[in-house]
């Protein structure tokens, strides 16, 4: 059904409606809604504990959602059984954060990439060619297929992880902080490669990260999360140029700028305090305890993402 | 300085020389394996059982560190804060005990408890008189790093070494901690060595910057010299590989290749395999240090290309 | 000062050569190398190999039968003809100790491999499934663990009677419990690692995740536990035979030999010394090997 679409037409690939994931009393994700169009990159940013990783893992059904719906290509996949899910596993894949923990240390690079083909019953005689092709696609060579993860550098391991995700020819890849464990000089290599692969293979990304400047670079739209909720969502340039939600404003002004003069001349509004516990989130607008513009009524306000025009959504009613 | 591992000798730092002036913030920037931490740990005499200083000397306040008693220096005149605030505090001792212990050990003259309270208040943990009785698990990550800073500064050290002090923290908390460190440094006039991989942090904090790669100093200079008159191809590559804030969508220019294998370091310049300007001479001969100004120097054969 | 030739740019080939030239080594090659550097572990391994070889080939090469009685030669001290002396029936103690080694080692290895098999599967399933299933399965292990072994032994004595069969059943019932606990703990630790999540995202079945990902990565602790459980089983068999619940005459295990010799300890001490010494040396050798293995497998020592 996707293949029949015309060029330039906007196709909703993934739609998440009011997604909630509670671990006991911890409200890790608390009512998140967004959609991703085919071919775009949606950035999902926030600080640790904001629920961005849990959101990604719930979409790919590593966790069972507590509430809400996940719709992929028009089909509700929220309550599929593991068997029914198998065909969707080919369409949605994931790239992980830690290149040291995300590869099985007892398997060779080739076996790691081949495993997906075995699970999805790709004929044995095609497997070796595809492994070699995938290794080349991610900038490694086929002689390296017989090596073990500990023989590769961090950046190379991340490339193997990407090749593993690509082995099933997915449409959507959830990138869960794929560069945050890498050195600065390697981050740019991986980001460039992800962009190239997106163009070549027509991939769609959900790019989860806390590095706001990289998210700005790679994403077409960006969603900002705080305590399990999206507080702002907009086109990436729009969001960075004119952030509306007080949290986004402080978050952006906290990024250190790698330029001495700009860094000196910048007005910073360091946010007070730290993120409250998701075990007992503040009432009303959950940001009111740290918000520089908080009003008395904020603690009772039921906030909701509202369109402020041009596809710019914000959860704060006072902007 | 070398580390001995089961796989052989790892040369962490090779022929590294630097100095820190009084009241100055020296930033050391480098990626993992660049030797930026090893260079500074050796200053503190902390190098683990596998490490060994294989040559060189360290002068502190004009005296050779080998002739000084490290136990008196450490914590009193030079102190340190580390990356992980979750493991740097002893979980079974109260904050009060841990703050006062250092004062007692170094025979602080004056009211120990009052000094501990003052310091805790100074780093923004309030109400200090109540919170000082609590244990580390009752504080958040950012607060623990504040306590670490209070502990490091309680004896009014002349030099503070901060090893990736904000890497484990979120951006908004990082901004708070950096502001705090800047204010404390201005008030006390102490010298700081700030080790980090974050170019943004170093641009905002350091007076002078040392760029390290593969255990060697590639370039050093004032913050403006490093960012605006960049001389070394590695520094140039590093600055280019982060998104440009003015045109964020522009394609990034990464440094190609992988970091050097420290077990088997190149004979010449450690950056030779990844350097876009690499020349034959770089393979086998270590580059000499070239001065561009009183404060700015770099180690690269490019500077001698025209010299015959 | 310098030759201009030296300042020519490097070609791409010159930059990329000699990269990744270190020979490929697997984890187990590393482990073997570290183990071989541990002198005590190597000694332990050599002793075990020697004892196994003697147990298998020794009795065949000896001129004496383990049950051949010669009353002219009873209670002889060690000599050139009888290296370990003879017992009260004139049987050669050397050949009886070697023959006992067969039984003791067979019990040790067999019981440990049964416990390996049951323990790994049981612990793996329990740890991987988690939740209620895990609680129930581990509850059963706790019960088995809390019943003293002597109770199984006494019950089996009544039902089955003494002999090798009841020793095997006793060891089989009780020995897999510690292995199951260790495997479960390892699986619990590993199952939230990102490479397991990656396998789940690819659609790998639970069985595949367990066999291809979890158990290979838990092999280290499993191997160490196995190495330590072999001497445990040998000792248990010796103990059960010593108190009369094991194999009976004329079969010989180290426990039976020790038991027979206790009565005449004051007059013929060598009759106890040799079988008891064999037990000690074997247990010590396995412990040396187990310690060495544990160190060699410890990932903290890895670069």
Residue among B141, B204, B243 minimizing CB distance to A213: B243
CB pairs under 8 A between B and C: 47
pLDDT at position C204: 92
Overall number of domains in chain C: 1
pLDDT of residue B6: 39
B264 at A interface, C-beta within 8 A: no
| pLDDT tens sequence across A144-158 | 898 889 888 899 999
Domain-located, residue C15? no
CATH number of the domain within which A55 lies? 3.40.50.300
Confidence tier at B306 by pLDDT (50, 70, 90): low
Question: What is the secondary structure of A295-309 as a DSSP string?
Answer: -GGGGT-----EE-S
Chains with 3 or more CB pairs closer than 8 angstroms to B?
A: A, C
Per-residue pLDDT tens over the stretch B53-82: 555 666 777 777 666 676 777 777 888 888
Cβ under 8 Å to A: B residues 155-184: 170-176, 178-179
| B307 contacts in chain C (CB < 8 Å) | 1-2
* Cβ within 8 Å of residue C41, ≥6 positions away: C35, C288, C289, C291, C292, C293, C295, C296
C1 domain-assigned: no
Q: A194: domain range?
A: 12-91+170-242
SS3 of residue B271 by DSSP: coil
Over residues A30-43, mean pLDDT: 95
pLDDT of residue B53: 58
Mean pLDDT for back-to-back runs of 10 residues, chain C (303 residues): 73 61 70 86 92 82 71 72 73 81 85 89 92 93 86 80 77 86 94 93 92 90 88 84 73 80 78 85 90 76 41
Question: Which of A102-111, B239-248, C66-75 has the lowest average pLDDT?
Answer: C66-75
pLDDT at B308: 43
Mean pLDDT of chain B: 83
Residue C9: inside a domain:
no
Predicted confidence band of residue B43 (pLDDT cuts 50, 70, 90): low
- Report residue A221 as tokens: 């739209």
Measured between beta carbons, the chain C residues lying within 8 angstroms of B281 are 2, 6-7
Is the CB of B258 inside 8 Å of chain C's CB atoms?
A: yes
- Is residue B275's pLDDT more than 80? yes
Residue of C nearest to A153 (CA): C20
Name which of A10-19, A208-217, B27-36 the model is least confident about: B27-36
At C210, which CATH number?
Answer: 1.10.3720.10
Cβ of B214 under 8 Å from any chain A Cβ?
no
Report the pLDDT value the prediction gives residue B14, as an integer from 0 to 100: 64
For chain B, count helices (H), then strands (E): 11, 13
Residue C125 lies in a domain: yes
Specify if C268 maps to a domain.
yes
Interface test with C, best of B279, B300, B302 (most C CBs within 10 A): B279
| C155: in domain | yes
**Side-chain half-sphere CA neighbours of A232 within 13 A:** 27
What span, in angstroms and rounded, lies between the C-alpha atoms of A24 and A6? 45
Assigned domain for C69 exists: no
How close is the nearest chain C Cα to the Cα of B18, in Å? 28
* A164 within domain boundaries: no
The upper half-sphere exposure of residue C209, i.e. CA atoms within 13 Å in the direction of its Cβ, equals 24
Predicted confidence at residue B115, as pLDDT, reads: 92
Closest chain B residue to the Cα of A181, Cα to Cα: B32
CA atoms lying within 13 Å on the CB side of residue C157: 13
Q: What is the ipTM of this complex?
A: 0.88
Q: Is residue A105 part of a domain?
A: no
B6 close to C (CB below 8 A): yes
**What confidence score (pLDDT) does residue A231 get?**
95
Whether residue A160 lies within 8 A of chain C, CB to CB, comes out as: no
Cβ within 8 Å, pair C198-A94: yes
Q: Which two tokens stand for residue C251?
A: 């079969």
Number of domains in chain A: 1
- Chain B residues close to A210, C-beta within 8 Å: 170-171
Residues B87-141 have pLDDT tens digits of: 788 889 999 999 998 888 888 888 889 999 999 999 988 888 899 999 999 888 8
Segment of A274-283, B16-25, B261-270, C129-138 carrying the highest mean pLDDT? C129-138
Q: Which residues of chain A make contact with C203, given a CB cutoff of 8 A?
A: 85-86, 89-90, 119-120
- Tell me the nearest-neighbour CA distance from B49 into chain C, angstroms: 13
C1 vs B: CB within 8 A: yes
Range of the domain at C90: 29-64+81-301
């Amino acid at each position: 059904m996707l293949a029949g679409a015309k060029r330039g037409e906007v196709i909703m690939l993934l739609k998440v409606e009011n997604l909630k994931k509670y671990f006991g009393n911890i409200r890790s994700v608390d009512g998140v809604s967004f959609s991703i169009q085919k071919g775009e990159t949606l950035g999902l940013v926030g600080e640790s504990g904001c629920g961005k990783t849990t959101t990604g893992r719930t979409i790919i059904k590593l966790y069972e959602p507590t509430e809400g719906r996940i719709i992929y290509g028009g089909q509700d996949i929220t309550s599929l059984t593991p068997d029914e899910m198998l065909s969707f596993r080919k369409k949605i894949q994931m790239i992980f954060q830690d290149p040291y923990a995300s590869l099985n240390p007892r398997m060779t690079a080739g076996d790691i990439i081949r495993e997906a083909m075995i699970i999805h019953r790709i004929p044995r005689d095609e497997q070796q060619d595809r492994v070699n092709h995938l290794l080349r696609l991610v900038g490694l060579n086929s002689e390296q297929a017989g090596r073990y993860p500990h023989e590769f550098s961090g950046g190379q391991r991340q490339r193997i992880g990407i090749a593993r995700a690509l082995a099933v020819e997915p449409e959507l890849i959830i990138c869960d902080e794929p560069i945050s464990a890498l050195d600065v000089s390697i981050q740019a290599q991986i980001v460039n490669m992800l962009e190239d692969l997106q163009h070549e293979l027509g991939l769609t990304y959900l790019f989860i990260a806390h590095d706001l400047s990289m998210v700005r670079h790679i994403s077409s739209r960006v969603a900002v999360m705080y305590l399990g909720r999206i507080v702002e969502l907009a086109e990436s340039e729009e969001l960075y140029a004119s952030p509306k939600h007080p949290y986004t404003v402080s978050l952006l002004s906290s990024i250190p700028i790698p330029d001495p003069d700009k860094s000196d001349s910048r007005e910073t509004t360091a946010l007070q305090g730290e993120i409250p516990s998701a075990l007992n989130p503040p009432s009303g607008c959950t940001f009111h305890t740290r918000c520089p513009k908080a009003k008395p009524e904020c603690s009772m306000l039921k906030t909701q993402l509202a369109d402020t025009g041009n596809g710019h959504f914000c959860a704060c009613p006072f902007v | 300085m070398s580390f001995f591992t089961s796989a052989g000798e790892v040369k962490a730092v090779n022929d590294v020389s630097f100095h820190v002036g009084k009241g100055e913030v020296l930033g050391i920037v480098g990626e993992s394996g660049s030797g930026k931490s090893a260079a500074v740990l050796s200053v503190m005499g902390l190098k683990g059982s596998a490490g060994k200083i294989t040559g060189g000397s360290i002068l502190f306040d004009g005296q050779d560190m080998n002739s000084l008693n490290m136990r008196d220096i450490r914590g009193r005149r030079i102190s340190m804060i580390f990356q992980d605030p979750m493991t740097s505090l002893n979980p079974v001792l109260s904050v009060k005990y841990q703050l006062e212990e250092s004062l007692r050990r170094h025979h602080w003259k004056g009211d120990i408890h009052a000094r501990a309270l003052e310091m805790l208040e100074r780093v923004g943990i309030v109400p200090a008189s109540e919170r000082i009785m609590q244990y580390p698990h009752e504080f958040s990550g950012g607060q623990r790093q504040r306590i670490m800073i209070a502990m490091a500064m309680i004896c009014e050290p002349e030099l503070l070494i901060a090893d990736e002090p904000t890497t484990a923290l979120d951006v908004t908390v990082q901004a708070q901690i950096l502001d705090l460190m800047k204010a404390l440094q201005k008030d006390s006039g102490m010298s700081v060595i700030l080790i980090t991989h974050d170019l943004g942090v170093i641009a905002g904090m350091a007076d002078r910057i040392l760029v390290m790669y593969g255990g060697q100093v590639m370039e050093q200079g004032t913050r403006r010299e490093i960012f605006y008159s960049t001389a070394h191809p590695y520094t140039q590559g590093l600055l280019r590989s982060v998104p440009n804030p003015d045109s964020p969508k522009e394609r990034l220019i990464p440094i190609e290749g992988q970091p050097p294998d420290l077990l088997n370091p190149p004979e010449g310049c450690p950056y030779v395999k990844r350097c876009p300007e690499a020349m034959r001479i770089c393979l086998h001969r270590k580059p000499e240090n070239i001065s561009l100004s009183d404060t700015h120097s770099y180690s690269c054969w490019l500077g001698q290309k025209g010299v015959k | 000062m310098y030759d201009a030739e030296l300042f020519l740019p490097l070609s791409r080939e010159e930059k990329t050569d000699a990269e990744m030239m270190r020979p490929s080594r697997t984890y187990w090659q590393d482990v073997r190398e570290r183990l071989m550097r541990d002198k005590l572990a190597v000694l332990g391994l050599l002793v075990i190999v020697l004892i196994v070889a003697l147990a298998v080939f020794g009795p065949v090469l000896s001129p004496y039968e383990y049950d051949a009685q010669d009353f002219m030669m009873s209670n002889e001290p060690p000599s050139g003809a009888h290296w370990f002396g003879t017992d009260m029936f004139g049987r050669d103690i050397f050949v009886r100790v070697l023959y006992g080694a067969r039984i003791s080692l067979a019990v040790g290895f067999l019981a440990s491999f049964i416990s390996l098999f049951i323990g790994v599967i049981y612990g793996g399933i329990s740890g991987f499934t988690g939740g209620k299933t895990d609680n129930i399965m581990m509850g059963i292990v706790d019960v088995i663990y809390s019943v003293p072994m002597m109770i199984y032994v006494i019950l089996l004595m009544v039902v089955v009677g003494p002999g090798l069969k009841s020793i095997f059943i006793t060891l089989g019932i009780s020995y897999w419990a510690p292995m199951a606990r260790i495997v479960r703990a390892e699986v619990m630790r590993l199952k939230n690692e990102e490479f397991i999540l990656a396998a789940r995202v690819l659609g790998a079945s639970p069985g595949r995740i367990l066999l291809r990902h979890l158990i290979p990565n838990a092999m280290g602790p499993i191997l160490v536990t196995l190495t330590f459980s072999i001497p445990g089983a040998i000792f248990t068999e010796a103990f059960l035979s010593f108190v009369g619940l094991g194999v009976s005459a004329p079969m010989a295990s180290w426990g039976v030999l020790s038991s027979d010799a206790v009565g005449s300890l004051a007059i013929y001490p060598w009759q106890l010394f040799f079988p008891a010494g064999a037990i000690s040396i074997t247990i010590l050798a396995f412990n040396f090997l187990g310690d060495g293995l544990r160190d060699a497998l410890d990932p903290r020592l890895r670069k």
